[in-house]
Amino acid sequence: MTKFLDFAALDGMGFEVDMLGVTSVVNTIQIVTANDAPERDPTTYEISGSIDGTTYTSIVIGEIPSVAERFLPRYFGFPKTISYFFYRVNFTDLCGTSDIMQVADVQLFPIIGNAPTIAGLTICEFEVTVDDEVSIEDQILSNGISISPNPTHNIMTIYNESNIDLENAIIYDLHGKMIHSVNFKPAEKYHSFDLTNWNSGMYLIRIKGAKGVAAKKLIKL
């Protein structure tokens, strides 16, 4: 998993999404906390939409509660809006004292829900850099772990291909709710889950090792 990192956080951080000529309604944003430094987490997000890629209309402004948990996926829904060809996501304010802002992952989804709204905020100008550098321990863990089959109808297996010392795995659904957790046995090389009775959709697996954390995506058919 990469890190979206801005070293000049005082003016906000953000990015634009080009739907490549296709309009789409967005009703949910997923925000995943980064691997370290909780004080760098943003506390406010704003999503705007555009038809021409020049003039943007604010769709929603919401709060992001500060948490200590790392690689934590959270989903914030908001009322259905019209379709747009372009979307802009801005982050402002920080959980602590820092000049740096970061998130591990951000995605937009067409799922209806509700999100807290903060009145009176405006779009921030921003400069963005993307840092693909996560800790060496996290990278080693991520490279040494695989899940298969993916997508799957029933059985999914986590493979510890590099014999890394694993502690546990937690699986979250699209609402950020913990669905399943497991503690690994010492030197356990693989662990299987039965997803037969799970709802179809995407899940996020947070795998913790003795010296790092990795996140994988799983699709249940």
Residue type, 189: K
User: Are residues 123 and 25 part of one domain?
Assistant: yes
User: Are residues 113 and 15 part of one domain?
Assistant: yes
User: Are residues 102 and 149 part of one domain?
Assistant: no
User: Are residues 148 and 124 part of one domain?
Assistant: no
Smallest Cα–Cα separation from 118: which of 152, 147, 92? 92
User: Are residues 144 and 58 part of one domain?
Assistant: no
User: Are residues 212 and 140 part of one domain?
Assistant: yes
User: Are residues 184 and 81 part of one domain?
Assistant: no
User: Are residues 210 and 176 part of one domain?
Assistant: yes
pLDDT by 10s per residue, the chain, length 221 = 568 888 887 778 999 998 887 778 888 888 999 989 999 999 999 999 988 888 899 999 999 999 988 888 888 888 767 888 899 999 989 998 888 999 998 988 875 444 433 333 222 333 333 344 445 656 667 788 889 998 889 999 999 888 888 889 888 876 667 888 889 888 788 899 899 999 888 887 888 888 777 778 888 88
Domain boundary among the residues 131, 165, 183 is at: 131
d(CA 205, CA 214): 8
User: Are residues 91 and 148 part of one domain?
Assistant: no
List residues bridging with 145 in a β-sheet. 160
Look up residue 84 and give its DSSP letter.
Answer: B
d(CA 169, CA 206): 6
d(CA 214, CA 202): 17
**Domains identified in the chain, total number:** 2
Q: What is the separation of C-alpha 188 from the centre of its chain, rounded to a whole number of angstroms? A: 28
d(CA 171, CA 193): 11
User: Are residues 140 and 121 part of one domain?
Assistant: no
| CATH code of the domain in which 175 resides | 2.60.40.3080
Looking at residue 135, what is its pLDDT?
Answer: 54
User: Are residues 163 and 62 part of one domain?
Assistant: no
| CATH code of the domain in which 8 resides | 2.60.120.260
Residues whose CB falls within 8 Å of the CB of residue 79, separated by 6 or more in sequence, listed in order: 27, 60, 112, 114
Whole domain around residue 179: which residue ranges?
136-220
User: Are residues 90 and 143 part of one domain?
Assistant: no
Domain boundary among the residues 96, 131, 166 is at: 131
Looking at residue 112, what is its pLDDT?
Answer: 43
Domain boundary among the residues 85, 103, 131 is at: 131
- Where does residue 161 rank: exposed (0-12), middle (13-18), buried (19+ CB within 10 A)? exposed
